Structure 1
Amino acid sequence: MILDKRKFQLHLKTETLGHGFHLYERIDSTNRLAMEFLREGAPEGTTILAEQQTGGRGSNGRQWESLPGGLYLSVILRPQLMLADIFQLTLVAAFGVAQSLARLTGADVRLKWPNDLVIEQGGRLAKVGGILTETRIQGDRLAGAVVGMGINWDNPVPAEAARLKPLSRRDLDLAPVAAAVLLGLEESYQLWRQRGIERIVSGYERYLVNLGQAVEVPGHDGQGRIIGIDERGALRVLFLDGGETLVMPSELRLGYAR
């Protein structure tokens, strides 16, 4: 096994996340298995980690190549949340994980809207990770959620992506990286529950690489510039005439060009 379970437990500093820990050498998808655990009543903080996924998924159903050497984990959360606010969980996870990885490695980990972890490399953005949040709904409320995280650490990656380990200023293996990712998520999750989404939005924007980027929005004349996000994770776009609009992830896809 690439990840040392005992070493992971020694590094783990969370109160809840990761203490119900299930490690697999190879499965199809940590999110799929975590959703099964969620339906069976597993408590908040239950964590699934795999050294390799054969059916890993990113956003919009895209395949996430998950070869050994990367970090692939999913966490069960059970927040009290209305359906209209579900996307807040992705903001919470993206901010917490980006902040924790930057703190651990010293690398300039940033966020590309809405849920990609990126670094700037050779004058372009390269993806080093992603967040996939899936939910279970009962009536008009959220019964539970699974937050999946994939991090390119020391695994083979496509040409447009990058590995984080060579960029780290510290000599690390997957055990402290996994522990740090869970701590970052827990810190952000607690901040959100105690202080509200406004603190998460401001934190997310500090890492948002798209601030100031010129974009063309369907249905609007001329270019606008990205000035932030709102509480649902929508982009705030400002136009030259002073008008502002909100753009949801389903309406606009941002590329990796700088």
Structure 2
Amino acid sequence: MIVDTQKFRLHLKTETLGHWLHFYERVDSTNRLAMEYLREGAPEGTTILAEQQTGGRGSNGRSWQSLPGGLYLSVVLTPEVALEDVFQLTLVAAFGVAQSLCRLTGTRVRLKWPNDLVVEAEGGLAKAGGILTETRVQGGRLVGAVVGVGLNWDNPVPEGGIRLRPLARRPLDLAMVAAAVLLGIEEAYQLWQTRGISRIVAGYERYLVNLGQAVEVPGHDGPGRIIGIDGQGALRVMFLNGSEALLSSRQLRLGYRR
């Protein structure tokens, strides 16, 4: 067993997340299982943790290689939020996880817009993980959401990926990392619920590796520069003439600089 669940519970410092834990050695997708638990009325904080996924997914339907040694978990959340604001949950989770991983490992984990966890490596950015948020809507109302986290820890990674374990400044195992990731999500989630999205945006931008990056935007003369995000997660780009554009991930894809 790669994840010591007893040690995980020992290190768990959350109020809610992770206390209803369902652990699997091998699943197709932790997000799919978490969504099933949500449909069955599972309480907020229900957590699915797996040692391996056979059908892991990233953003835009891309597959996520999920071999043993990595962290693969999903949590059930039931935020009181308008349906049009649900993307804020991705910002919440991304900020919380990045902040917690930096604190735990001593490594400069950063965010590549909108939901990738990255490390600045020799020659460019290397992907360390990602966030996938999915929602359940009924009658035009948000019933709940599932936040999935995939993290390259000590697993084989594809080209362009990086493992965090060799970068950590102290000995850590997956149980400790899982507990820290859940604490990071919970801390950011509580901040969002009590203080609003502006605090999350400010926190997210502190870790945003794309700040200041020059980008070409169709329909605009000359390049613009990324100056941040708005409360819905849209990328803020400013141009030489002082105009500003808000761009979704469907309108602009940011590659990995090499």
Residues 179-226 of structure 1: CA deviation (Å, up to 9, x unaligned): 000000000000000100000000000000000000011222210000
Instruction: Flag structure 2 segments of 5+ consecutive residues without an equivalent.
Output: none
Q: Deviations over 1:54-84 (max 9, x none)?
A: 0000000000000000000000000011111
3-state secondary structure, aligned to 1:155: coil
Confirm whether residue 150 of structure 1 aligns to residue 150 of structure 2. yes
Q: Which residue of structure 1 aligns with residue 79 of structure 2? A: 79
State the TM-score, normalized to the length of structure 1: 0.99
Identity in percent:
78
Give how far 1:123 is off: 2.7
| Residues 23-65 of structure 1: per-residue CA shift (max 9 Å, x gap) | 1000000000000000000000000010000000000000000
| Structure 1 vs Structure 2 CA RMSD | 0.6
Q: SS at the partner of 1:48?
A: strand
Deviation digits for residues 137-182 of structure 1 (CA, Å, limit 9, x no counterpart): 0123210000000000000001210000000001001000000000
**Contact 1:235–1:248 (8 Å) recurs in 2:** yes
Residues 1:47 and 2:32 are matched in the alignment? no
Partner of 2:159: helix, strand, or coil? coil
Quick check: 1:172 aligned with 2:210?
no
Secondary structure of the equivalent of 1:137?
Answer: strand
Taking the aligned partners of 1:161 and 1:146, their CA distance within structure 2 comes to: 24
Q: 1:16 maps to what in 2? A: 16
1:29 lines up with 2:26 in the alignment: no
How far apart are the structure 2 equivalents of 1:52 and 1:103?
25
Corresponding position of 2:246: 246
Map 1:127-142 → 2, pairs under 5 A: 127-142=127-142
Unpaired segments ≥5 residues, structure 1? none
Aligned to 2:126: 126
Distance 1:223 1:12 in 2: 46
Paired letter, 1:224: G
SS of equivalent to 2:28? coil
The one-letter code of the counterpart of 2:9 is Q
Equivalent in the alignment of 2:62 = 62
Partner of 1:234: 234
What stretches of structure 1 move > 2 A for 4+ residues in a row?
A: none
Give the secondary structure class of the aligned counterpart of 1:183. helix
SS at match of 1:132: strand
Give the TM-score taking structure 2 as reference length: 0.99
Structure 2: distance between partners of 1:45 and 1:129 = 21
Amino acid paired to 1:212: G
Change (3 A) 1:4 1:122: same
Residue 99 (str. 1) matches residue 95 (str. 2): no
